[in-house]
Amino acid sequence: MGTEPLLRIENLVKHFHVRLGAFGDTAATVHAVDDFNLDIVEGETLSLVGESGCGKSTTGFTILNLHRASAGKVIYKGQDLAALDEKQMRPFRRDLQIVFQDPYSTLNPRMTVGEAIGEPMLFHKLATKANLATRIATLLGDVGLPSRFAARYPHELSGGQRQRVAIARALACQPKFIVCDEAISALDVSIQAQIINLLLDLQEKYALTYLFIAHDLAVVRHISTRVGVMYLGRLAELATRDELFETPLHPYTKALLSAVPETDPQSERVRTRQILQGDVPSPLNPPPGCRFHTRCPIAMDVCRATVPLWKEARPGHLVACHAVNGN
């Protein structure tokens, strides 16, 4: 793994302008992602965690310029992707792929597996008609499926097999970076482990970088290099996997982790569980200051008025909290 960022995300913002009310006569803004700063290092698995609706998917989509950023930059190969239109994005599309929770959304039910995998290769001129069948068979082999699966349709496959095909389709573009958006969340636990191991094997084989969006913290602990914790559209904390799980600094991360059952019954006894009070506030009207102040057990006056700075509390360990000192 290198140390150079593959992607540099600077002050990324994504707001959705929506219309509310029975007649859609009230304009409102969903603050889905605000002031998001992150370097994604080549070869790493960076996981994003946080409660449902906190902006994880929107972040992934906006990084890939599948959603147009409201502000901020996504620097890739010296280019700000957020400033590019769809045509200008074309040369970068190949490098940047996404795998969704539900492979049905990526796989056309009327296309065979072979057609689904072959289409992006032909589009990006990564195969010719002459070597297409061999390339499809190789990719199927990469994701642990026999080459005869090329003739099958998505509905003839199990959930795990369909996800393998979706991964093969992403790999067909010979990408550098893959957003895995809850890519294993809908699968049975035993299948999840297989797909995780597959993703890890492929990462090593093809030097891939992952943005891994997930809510299962046990899985995140298993596969991540670093972990970012999001709360209501903002990054609350970012650290290496071990540091985040062993020495969380942000009150929200502490609460999130304390909700995970320990595998070691000894430490389960000594640990104090912190139950998060109240619901997540609406991203239509996020609280001023620290967005977590309405639920934070140690909120102070400053938290209600001032947005905490994103600062380095220890080397490589960033946090946005007034109660945590910077370096």
Ligand X SMILES: Nc1ncnc2c1ncn2[C@@H]1O[C@H](COP(=O)(O)OP(=O)(O)O)[C@@H](O)[C@H]1O
- Each as own residue / partner, the long-range contacts of residues 184-192 (CB below 8 Å, 24 or more positions apart, any chain) are 184/214, 184/216, 184/219, 185/101, 185/214, 185/215, 185/216, 186/101, 186/102, 186/159, 187/159, 187/160, 187/163, 188/159, 188/160, 191/158, 191/159, 191/160, 191/163, 192/219
Q: Where are the alpha helices (DSSP H) in 172-311?
A: 189-206, 217-223, 241-246, 251-258, 265-270, 301-305
State both tokens at 199: 């993703």
Among 47, 57, 65, 70, binds Mg ion (CB under 5 A): 57
Give kind and range of the element (H or E) at residue 151. Answer: none
Give residues 204-263 in contact with ligand SF4 (rule: CB under 6 A).
Answer: 250-251
Give residues 42-101 in contact with ligand X (rule: CB under 6 A).
Answer: 50, 52-58
State both tokens at 285: 């009207």
Residues with Cβ within 8 Å of residue 283, at least 6 apart in sequence: 30, 31, 32, 53, 55, 232, 233
**Which string of x and - marks every residue 23-42 that binds ligand X (by CB under 6 A)?**
-------x-x----------
Cα–Cα distance, 244 to 248 (Å, whole number): 5
**Residue 325: CA count within 13 A, CB half-sphere:** 1
Give residues 239-268 in contact with ligand X (rule: CB under 6 A).
Answer: none
Q: What is the amino acid identity at position 161?
A: Q
Nearest distance from C-beta of residue 16 to ligand X, angstroms: 3
- Number of residues located near ligand X, criterion CB under 6 A: 13
Token look-up 């095909």 returns 165
Q: Could you tell me which stretch among 4-12, 52-60, 199-207, 214-222 binds Mg ion (CB under 5 A)? A: 52-60
What does DSSP assign to residue 161? H
What does DSSP assign to residue 162? H
Q: Which does 292 bind (CB under 5 to 8 A by kind): ligand X, ligand SF4, Mg ion, none?
A: ligand SF4
Question: Which residues face 49 on adjacent strands?
Answer: 229
Give residues 252-311 in contact with ligand SF4 (rule: CB under 6 A).
Answer: 290, 292-293, 296, 298-300, 303, 308
Q: Which does 7 bind (CB under 5 to 8 A by kind): ligand SF4, ligand X, Mg ion, none?
A: none
Q: Could you tell me which stretch among 49-57, 185-193, 290-298, 310-318 binds Mg ion (CB under 5 A)? A: 49-57
Q: Which does 293 bind (CB under 5 to 8 A by kind): ligand X, Mg ion, ligand SF4, none?
A: ligand SF4
Give residues 278-297 in contact with ligand X (rule: CB under 6 A).
Answer: 283
Give residues 107-166 in contact with ligand X (rule: CB under 6 A).
Answer: none
Cα–Cα distance, 167 to 155 (Å, whole number): 17
Nearest distance from C-beta of residue 239 to ligand SF4, angstroms: 15
Nearest distance from C-beta of residue 296 to Mg ion, angstroms: 24
Give residues 170-229 in contact with ligand X (rule: CB under 6 A).
Answer: none
Please, which residue, 58 or 253, has the CB nearer to ligand X? 58
Q: Which does 303 bind (CB under 5 to 8 A by kind): ligand X, Mg ion, ligand SF4, none?
A: ligand SF4
| Chain residues that interact with Mg ion, rule: CB under 5 A | 57
| Chain residues that interact with ligand SF4, rule: CB under 6 A | 250-251, 290, 292-293, 296, 298-300, 303, 308, 321-323
